[in-house]
Structures are given as C-alpha cells and as structure tokens.
Structure 1
C-alpha cells in the first residue's frame, strides 16, 4: 500500500475506507459484516478510515472505535469523521461553536478517543463557507485538544475553493471519479498549491462504476439508491454521483468498452471497471486518498490492491474524457 500526504494530518494510505455503508443508507448491514469489512481493510494495508456522526446515528463511529481500538491507541491509523448534519434544521446558523463542540464530544465518545484525528464540516450550507466564525470555532476546538486537524466535506467545487482560502483547513473531501471530472479543471491544482489534502468520496458512483449493476436491480427501501435518486433526502449528487441511473449504466458500459477496462493490464491481472476507476482517480497527483466503501471483504481487498497497479496510459485517460464528454457531462458538470 502506497501512502500520500494529507495536509498536516500526515501520511495516509492512498486507498482508504469509507464507512458510510457500515452505518446506514445502504440496506441492512449486520455488525459481523461491518466488522469483517473493517478488518479486511486493515489486513489489506488501509490505515485511513472516513466516517461521520450521522452514519447510523453514530453506529459507524462506534464500530470503527471498537475494531480499531488498538490501532488507534498506537497511532497506527487515521480516523476522520464529520460533523454538522445532526442539525435539524440543517441551516448555516447552526454551525456555532457550541453545537460543533457538542458534536465533536459525541464523536470522541463514539470513537473512544480524547482527540479526533480530523473533523470535517459535513457538507454544510454554502453560506457557512462565508462565515469565518465557523472556522474560528474549529480552530478553538483544536486549541482545546478536542481535534488535531480540521477540514470540510463539500458538494460543489466552488465550496471547496472557498474553503481552502481559510488557512486552518487541512483537507477537502469531495466527489471525484470518471463520472464527476470537474474538480480536475481547477480545484486539484489550487489545493495542491496550498498543501491541502484531497479526499475523494463516491469513487465508484454508488456502484455504477463497478459494472455490476443492471436495469433489473432493485434496491432496498433503506438504500439511498432507492429513495434518493431525485434528491429527496439529501443532495442528489451523492447518489450515483448525480448521474441518472439509466444514463449511468450506458456510460459505464461505454467506459468499459472504450477504455478496454476488462482487458489484461501490464501486471498480468484483469483490470476491472472498478479498478480502472480507482486508478484513474489516483493518477491525479493532488489526490491524497480515495475512500471506496464496501461490506464485502473481497471487494475491500480488490480496492486496496489498486494502489499497487501502474498508472493508466494516455489512451485510457482519453477514453475516460470522451465518455464523460459524450454521456455524462450534461448531467453533472454545471451542478457540482
């Protein structure tokens, strides 16, 4: 497993583990399944784990805290969490020092730590990025030792660009994958220039970029791929990366064909569409870590193995650009 620098947080595995799925919104996941997935991630060399206080109302944090207890105690892993989405209503005025302290203290308890490695504002309303007091509050919590570093998780590129203007912001988490390419136009360059870490979520577009989904698939009622396709629960860009499902399936097929994503790569191994997509993300030097999530140990290990694959060639990157321009851009580029 290769490592990259994540702001002042330090070196982290370039393939991390996103733990939304072991918390909620992806159908029923048993605790033994969740534990097995996290253990598989550690066994595969992953030492960066991303979670949030609202994933299963803290369930994801508690599972990570229990399974990784020894690793956390010895400083062998970095656990990033997020705060803010517990607000009801979720409005900019709620991002106060008092509320953030309350959320942070709850996460400290869930994870069983005195100091949280990295706290990210959890896709707050855009107005928050224009309120220095929210970032001053995070700085205060860092001064108090409740958190070691802070950053943001954003929906839109413009929010990320505004966030990195604050000197204390060490990381930005955003959606970046072959179906969401806009961050590569400006944001990645600006983040690198400021030594800000970049965490890439939704790297497989909620499964579209695994090539394993079909038009006949039915998702459980508790799966956001069922109830959030139109953005009824949260930003629609979090579900299938904002690409309409049918269009996404067609684009995934086209990408597999044009990039020859299922052919043998130079290592002699079959390069799946998922591996192609993760490698495409990692080929951008400004990316610190990519955080695919899975509850299947086999998939977790396969995701981690992408770190050892060679970069894609120019033809593969051109294929990804062509598919994006022809089939995806119109649905997402202007929105996020």
Structure 2
C-alpha cells in the first residue's frame, strides 16, 4: 500500500483509507460482527486511515471503530463534528465543541483524537475567527491532535486552506466531480494541506454494479436523499441524476484495465491526482474492503484514459453539477 503525509497532521497514512459512514445506519443496517469484519479486512489489506463521524448511526460507527482500534496501534482515526444540532453559525462554539468532542472521545475510546473535522457546517463558519480560535484551544487542551474541515463546495475548501492551522480538507472528488482539480488541489498542495477524497465511487455509481432496475432500501440515502430531502444532494450520487450517472459509467467502462474492476479504476483515477493524500471508499463486506484497497496496486492510468474521463465529464456531467459545488 502506497502512503502519503496527511497534510499538516504530519501523519503517514495509506493512500486508500476506509470511509465508515456505511457502518452507521444510512446505508441500511450493519451488524456488529459485519462491521468488525469490514474493518479487519481493510486493515489486513494495508489501510491505516479510517474516517467516521459522530452522526453516522448516531455514534454507532464511531463505537465500532473505537472498539476495533483498541488493540491495533498505528491507525489514524478521523472523525467529524457539528451535524448533531440545527445548522446555525451560533452553534459552533467552544462549549459545544467540547461537548461533541467528549462524546466522540468516549465512543472512540481515545483521550486525544487524531483528527477532528468540522462536518460540512454553514458556509460562514469557514470564515469565523472565533471558530478557529476554539479549534486551536481544543488542540492546546490535547483533546485533538489536529483539525480539518469537510466541505461541500470548492469555495469553502479554499477559505479553509487559507487558515494556518487547518490540517486537512475533505471534499467530494471522483470521476463525476472534477471541479476540485481546478483550484482546490493546487491550493492545498501549495499550503501543505492534506486532501481527503470522499464519495469516491459516487455512492456506488462508479462501481459499475447498478442499472436502471437497481433499487435501494427505504433506509438507504440513495433512496431517501436523491433530491436532497435529508442533506445536501451532492452527497448522494455526487448530485448527478441516476440515469445520467449510469450513462457516464457505460462510457467509462472500456477504459478499465484488464483484470481490474470499474470501482478500482475509479479509485485509481483519484489516487493519480496530484495533491490527494487519501481516498476513503466505504465497504459493506470484507471483499469490498479488500478490492478497494487493491486499487492502490494498479499501475497509474494512462494520459489517454485521464483525457477520456474528462471528455465524459465535460459532455454529460459538467452542465449539471460543475457550477453547484
């Protein structure tokens, strides 16, 4: 497994990590034994970075990760905070940060959390001096070792990157979401800020396993959030209409190298982008976790493959999403 330094954290992490949203409850129910099996398979395959959040399953994902990591030194655990309250700027205070942090530290069974990220807060939060002062205080109190942000838009990312102590930015980046390549990744590289690429398979669209007849469970966000009913629609299928995403995948499929899967191709495309520290695909089975990790072992994609990904994006996807995020 290739590794990289995760921005200003200074920590070495695997280029392929594990996103633990699906170990909560927003992708359908996951049993404790199944969650442990996924985590173990990912780590066995070389994964050293796990990303979770306090709202994934109302803390259930954090608890799974916390129990798993107890006897496994060397892992970097990132969590997120801020989505347990109404999304108002006034909620982003030091007192609330401490309360949210206490809960996450208990769930994760850690005194000092490796990385805590603001979880896609209201846009003005990214420009608040008081917010960054509060986060600096959390570091000084040794509650957290470093902090970062998770963002919806490129402008939010650029605002955060300009702050001197922001260690990382988590942003949606995949073959159906190319806008971060224009300004965000270069700015992060110049500032020494890590990039965590989330939603790398566009909620499974880029796995190549779906078609027009695919259905999702009632408690799966790919069913209940298709139009942004519960949270930002960009988090579900990267905001791309399902039918358009299917057509894009059909056009991309011939680019997949022999012996690789569509998902591995999509992950390799992200790994090959300059400035990306770690990509965090989710997995609901040990086999998925192993297959995702093995994408790091593929040869870098050819310039022609990269060009064709851009062509498909420009024709099908750009008019629909490029200006939104």
TM-score w.r.t. the length of structure 1 is: 0.95
2:18 is matched with which residue? 17
1:178 aligns with 2:178: no
Match of 1:335 in 2: 324
How far the C-alpha of 1:218 sits from its partner, in A, is 1.2
**8 Å contact from structure 2 (residues 8, 166) kept in 1:** no
Once the two structures are superposed, the pairs formed by residues 193-208 of structure 1 within 5 Å of their partners are 193-208=190-205
Q: How far did 1:285 drift?
A: 2.1
Distance, in Å, in 1 between the alignment partners of 2:264 and 2:319 is 25
| Gapped regions of structure 2 (runs ≥ 5) | none
How far 1:135 sits from its partner (Å)?
A: 1.0
Contact 2:169/2:194, CA 8 A, preserved across alignment = yes
Number of residue pairs aligned between Structure 1 and Structure 2:
324
The match for 2:64 is: 63
Q: Cα distance, 1:136 vs. partner?
A: 0.8
- Could you tell me which residue of structure 2 aligns to residue 267 of structure 1? none
The whole-number CA distance in structure 2 between the counterparts of 1:120 and 1:306 is 26
Instruction: Determine the C-alpha separation between the residues in 1 that align with 2:133 and 2:47.
Output: 32
1:70 is displaced (CA, Å) by 1.1
Residue 310 of structure 1: how far off its partner (Å): 1.2
Q: Does 1:293 align with 2:256?
A: no
Aligned to 1:2: 2
Tell me the SS of whatever aligns to 2:78.
Answer: strand
Question: 2:104 matched to 1:103?
Answer: no
User: Counterpart in 2 of 1:43?
Assistant: 44
- The answer on whether the counterparts of 2:174 and 2:201 sit within 8 Å (CA) in structure 1 is yes
Q: How does 1:134-213 map to 2 (within 5 A)?
A: 134-213=131-210
Looking at structure 2, the residues matched to 165 and 186 of structure 1 have their Cα atoms a distance apart, in angstroms, of: 13
Would you say the 8 A contact 2:8–2:165 is kept in 1?
no
For 1:100 and 1:121, locate their aligned partners in 2 and report how far apart those are by CA, in whole Å: 10
| Alpha-carbon distance between aligned partners in 1 of 2:27 and 2:320, rounded to the nearest angstrom | 24
3-state SS in 2 of match to 1:21: helix
Unaligned runs of 5+ in 1: 265-269
How much does 1:69 deviate? Answer: 0.8
Alignment partner of 2:84 out of 59, 62, 86: 86
Would you identify which runs of 4 or more consecutive aligned residues in structure 1 move more than 4 Å?
A: none
Which position in structure 1 is the counterpart of 2:297? 308
In 1, the alpha carbon distance for the partners of 2:129 and 2:299 equals: 42
The 3-state SS of whatever aligns with 2:104 is helix
What does the per-residue CA deviation read over 1:91-111, in whole Å, with 9 as the maximum and x for residues that have no partner?
A: 111001111111011100000
| SS class of match (2:147) | strand
Quote how far apart the aligned CAs of 1:189 are. Answer: 0.3
CA distance in 2, matches of 1:309, 1:272: 11
Aligned to 1:77: 75
- Is the 2:126–2:159 contact (alpha carbons within 8 Å) kept by the matching residues of 1? yes
- Which of 232, 238, 242 is matched with 1:241 structurally? 238
SS of residue paired to 1:56: helix
What are the equivalent positions in structure 2 for 1:110-129 lying under 5 Å apart? 110-129=107-126
CA distance in 2: counterparts of 1:136 and 1:37, whole angstroms: 37
- 1:8: how far off? 2.7
- Displacement of 1:207 in angstroms is 0.6
RMSD: 0.8
1:120-155 residue CA offsets vs partner (Å, 9 max, x unmatched): 000000010121111111100000000000000000
For 2:308, the equivalent position in structure 1 comes to: 319
Within a 5 Å distance, the mapping from 1:263-278 to structure 2 comes to 263-264=257-258, 270-278=259-267
2:249 to 249, 252, 265: 252
Matched residue SS, 1:231 = coil
